[in-house]
């Protein structure tokens, strides 16, 4: 088993690892997100994504990118820690950070066979969908776990109701 730090890579190494998987005739799955406060919904989502291919590669928004998307109070967990926690998951093959507002450049560079996003996206709103389908890949939106989101977790913490979700 590789240590989480060995599964976190710069963009070039990340894409080289994806290419090596494809060269062995295996299917590369890609997903991305902020993954601020990793929770069971994330773990289940990533396990489902991994099941759609042979190796799951995950792009993680940098802190600057998250602030641009979610506002100045986010992320709650820094980028290096978010990447390390994701890399510790058995379902994840490799993790890289991306600083752009969208993962399009990363998707184009790593050329996944399957692009996966959460069910709060539609085929039309998934960044990179046209490109992935253009090279013969598949685009999938995976149903989310009701009530399991970082935003709902933060709301419960702030309201003093941090126990079991209802």
pLDDT score for 66: 93
What pTM value is reported for the model?
0.89
Domain boundaries, the chain: 4-158
- 4-158 belongs to which homologous superfamily? HUPs (3.40.50.620)
pLDDT of residue 41: 87
**Looking at 6-163, which runs of residues are DSSP E strands?**
28-33, 55-61, 92-98, 114-118, 138-142
Which residue ranges in the chain fall short of pLDDT 70? 1-3, 145-158, 162-166
């Amino acid at each position: 088993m590789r240590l989480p730090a060995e599964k976190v890579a710069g963009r070039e190494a990340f894409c080289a690892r994806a290419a090596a998987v494809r060269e062995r005739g295996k299917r590369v799955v890609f997903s991305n997100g902020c993954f601020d406060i990793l929770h069971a919904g994330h773990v289940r989502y990533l396990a489902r994504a991994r099941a759609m291919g042979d190796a799951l590669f995950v792009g993680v928004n940098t802190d600057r990118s998250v602030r641009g998307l979610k506002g100045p109070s986010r992320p709650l967990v820094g980028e290096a820690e978010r990447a390390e926690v994701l890399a510790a998951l058995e379902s994840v093959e490799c993790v890289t950070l991306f600083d752009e507002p969208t993962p399009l450049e990363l998707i184009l560079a790593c050329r996944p066979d399957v692009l996966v996003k959460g069910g709060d996206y539609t085929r039309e709103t998934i960044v990179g969908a046209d490109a992935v389908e253009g090279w013969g890949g598949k685009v999938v939106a995976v149903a989310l776990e009701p009530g399991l989101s970082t935003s709902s977790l933060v709301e419960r913490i702030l309201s003093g109701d941090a126990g079991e979700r209802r």
